[in-house]
């Protein structure tokens, strides 16, 4: 039987990161399975949605390819779960895969900022066009929408910074030593 030598000691950072993302991956996988089931039951009604009122660019693309987007979300959550288990086992391929998944999560979060802005603006404009609100009330509602979008942007950028910090720590020489 071959002998295995561990070169570096197991750090608390890698262990906690692996357990955190293992739990998040399992929850996201369960949620994605439920969302795929719901989408499959709603698909006939969802496909006719874009015909009634044209959607903005990114929203229209998202709705057009929604089953594929949902399947990609399920695949990413399963990959996160598998790479988190690999992190616990201190496997080098899992560390590299996990870093790649975190980079993809950062890109998805930044793309989500644009999507959020596009959807919220189109919904608010459509709602205000149909409502008999006075101009002053509509302006107050618009400022609340802007404030909520700004807060969501700050939270998204903070989470991207946290993911970037995790990537940097996983690429540090001391952590790489654990996976040697």
Q: Within a domain: residue 1?
A: no
Q: Within a domain: residue 7?
A: no
Q: Within a domain: residue 56?
A: yes
Q: What is the pTM of this model?
A: 0.78
Q: What's residue 8's pLDDT?
A: 60
Q: Within a domain: residue 118?
A: yes
pLDDT tens across the length of the chain (180 residues): 676 655 567 889 999 999 999 999 999 999 989 988 887 777 666 555 555 566 666 666 777 777 788 888 899 999 999 999 999 999 999 999 999 999 999 999 998 888 888 777 777 777 777 777 777 777 777 788 888 889 999 999 999 999 999 999 999 998 888 887
Helix axis angle for 12-47 and 66-88, nearest 10°, is 170
Q: What's residue 43's pLDDT?
A: 66
Q: Within a domain: residue 2?
A: no
How many domains, in total, are found in the chain?
A: 1
Range of the domain at 29: 12-178
CB 118 within 8 A of CB 58: yes
Q: Within a domain: residue 4?
A: no
Q: What's residue 49's pLDDT?
A: 53
Q: Within a domain: residue 143?
A: yes
Q: Within a domain: residue 5?
A: no
Q: Residue 160: which of 102, 116, 119 has the closest Cα?
A: 102
């Amino acid at each position: 039987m071959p002998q295995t030598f561990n070169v570096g000691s197991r750090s608390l950072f890698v262990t906690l990161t692996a357990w955190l993302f293992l739990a998040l991956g399992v929850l996201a996988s369960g949620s994605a399975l439920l969302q795929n089931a719901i989408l499959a039951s709603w698909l006939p009604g969802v496909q006719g949605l874009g015909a009634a009122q044209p959607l903005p660019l990114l929203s229209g693309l998202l709705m057009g390819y929604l089953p594929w987007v949902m399947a990609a979300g399920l695949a990413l959550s399963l990959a996160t779960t598998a790479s988190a288990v690999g992190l616990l086992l201190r496997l080098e391929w899992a560390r590299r895969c996990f870093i790649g998944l975190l980079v993809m999560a950062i890109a998805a979060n930044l793309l989500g900022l644009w999507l959020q802005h596009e959807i919220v603006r189109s919904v608010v404009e459509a709602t205000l066009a149909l409502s008999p609100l006075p101009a002053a009330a509509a302006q107050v509602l618009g400022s609340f929408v802007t404030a909520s979008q700004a807060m969501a942007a700050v939270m998204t950028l903070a989470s991207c910074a946290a993911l970037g910090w995790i990537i940097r720590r996983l690429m540090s020489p001391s952590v790489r030593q654990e996976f040697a």
